Structures are given as C-alpha cells and as structure tokens.
Amino acid sequence: MMAPEVEALAQRLPRPFRDELLLVRALTHRSWCAEFAGHASNERLELLGDAVLGLVVTDYAFRAYPELAEGELAKVRADVVSAVVLAQVATELRLGPAMFLGKGEDASGGRDKASILADATEALIGAVYLDGGWDAASELVLVLLGHRIAEAATGPGVADYKTRLQELAARCFECLPRYEVADRGPDHAKHFSATVVVAGGIRGSGEGRSKKQAEQAAAAAAWQAWKELEAAGSARVVQGTEDLCVDPEVSA
C-alpha cells in the first residue's frame, strides 16, 4: 500500500500506474537510499525521463508549429525543459510532499529545492514511460507542459518577434531588418513609434512606451505580413535590396 501523499499524487496524474513501484522509485531521492539500504534512487529514471521529455516536446512542437525553423524549435525545447520550469511543474503537482528524502535533506528544505523537484519530475516522466509506453508519457508531458510549449512557440518568450524577424531575414534574404524609430512628447512621458523593413517588401509599424516596445510591435506586424504573404504563395526574395543589409552591430 502506498503512502497517502504518494496515493494522492497518483490520483492527480492523467492515468493510473500499473506498476506502483515505479512511481515510488521516481520519488526516491538518493539521500533516502543512503539511510535505507536496498532501495534504488530515482537517478536512472531521471536520465531516461530527460530523454523522453526532450523528444516529446520536440516532436510535438515540430508537428504543431511547422513554421518554426530549427533554431526556434531548439529554443522552444530549451525553454520548456529547463530546470526552473520543471520545478514549477513539480510544485503544481505537489510532488514535494510525496518524495522520499533522507532526514537531513528533509530537514534542510529538500522538498522545496528546485533541483530536487526538477530531477523528480524527469524521473516521474521516465517512470510513466516504462509503465505505459510512449502514449502515456506523451500524454503526461503535454498535460503538464502543453500550454508552456504554446507560449514558447507563439509568444514573445523564447523567441521574441525581433529575434524571429532577424532570423527570417538572415535565412531567407541574407540581410537584417532595418528599424526607424521616432519619439514624441516630453521626457517624462515619451511615446515611441517604429517602422521596420525587410528586403524592401515586408514592412511593419508599431508603437509603445519605449523604443523596445515599439520595435517589438513593428516586428510582430512585419512577421504577420510575412506569414500572410507566405500563405498566399507570394513570398519571395526581393532582388536589388543590398542597401537594407546593414551591419548587425548597428541594428542591435
């Protein structure tokens, strides 16, 4: 029979474990094993779970966001599988109270340590993979991280619109976006407007309370313009626009 905290955690997962010992092992920290001989820690499961997690996130992002380039996919994966995010997931799952920790680790606040929680999250994914296969592991990862993948892939998080637009321009046109920024109003209440041009044919404008905000808004508008051109089948490299290929240090 599982401990009440472990049983409660099991109830919060998308599907039940067939082999409950796998769940217990995923929650067993090496500090517990040092005090209670004969128990296996979650370290091997952590290694497996790390690999499964990376593949699930990459596979999902690859299929769900075909417009993302290789570098953007890598950034999505890095953002979602970070130790900080995994520790947050563990906290949301209330995984800490269910862990088996040594007395010293427990007394020093181990149930709230980000590194321990992140490792246990990976171990949990590894345990689910062994217990239920790819479908079970994929379901768990997407339940826990699906909204974070969407935010990383579509929002201004891991790849903001300026970064996306710069990567697009470098990849498709071998030049960089050119921004023109103007401001108005007194120093204590300035308002900025920005216009960006890529390869002479992709333009966007935006406004904001700072130069950065205005440029981001302009980049977002240009990015959307490019996607509309692409969808219409009219996106193409514009020849004779070398004057737009500015020095990266100038446009940074």
CB–CB of 178/197 below 8 Å? yes
Annotation marks residue 122 as catalytic: yes
CA distances to 15, 92, 171 from 12, rounded to whole Å, are 8, 10, 44
CB–CB of 198/169 below 8 Å? yes
CA distances to 28, 83, 170 from 124, rounded to whole Å, are 10, 14, 40
Distance CA 151, CA 157 (A): 7
Half-sphere exposure of 124 (CA within 13 A, CB side): 29
| Contact partners, residue 92, CB within 8 Å, separation at least 6 | 144
* Distance from chain centroid for Cα 190: 34
Distance CA 60, CA 101 (A): 34
Which candidate in 50, 79, 105, 131 is catalytic? 50
pLDDT at 236: 47
pLDDT at 247: 31
Sequence spans of domains, the chain? 4-154, 161-251
The DSSP symbol for 157 reads S
Enter the CATH code of domain 161-251.
Answer: 3.30.160.20
pLDDT at 234: 54
Name the token pair of 36. Answer: 């209670």
| Contact partners, residue 206, CB within 8 Å, separation at least 6 | 193, 194, 213, 214, 215, 216, 217, 218, 219, 220, 221
Question: 3-class SS at 91?
Answer: helix
Which candidate in 72, 79, 105, 122 is catalytic? 122
Name the token pair of 55. Answer: 């593949």
Output helix, strand, coil percentages for the chain, rounded to the nearest 5: 65, 10, 25
The pLDDT profile of the chain, 252 residues, written as one tens digit per residue, is 678 999 999 999 999 999 999 999 999 999 999 999 888 999 999 999 999 999 999 999 999 998 888 888 988 898 889 887 898 899 989 999 999 999 999 999 999 888 899 999 999 999 999 999 999 999 999 999 998 898 788 765 544 778 778 877 877 777 788 999 999 888 777 888 999 988 777 788 988 778 887 888 888 888 878 777 776 665 444 333 333 333 333 333
| pTM confidence score | 0.64
Name the token pair of 70. Answer: 């290789």
Q: Which CATH number fits domain 4-154: 3.20.20.80, 1.20.1250.20, 1.10.1520.10, 3.40.50.410?
A: 1.10.1520.10
| Contact partners, residue 208, CB within 8 Å, separation at least 6 | 191, 192, 194, 214, 215, 216, 217
Give the DSSP H or E segment for 215.
Answer: helix 211-232
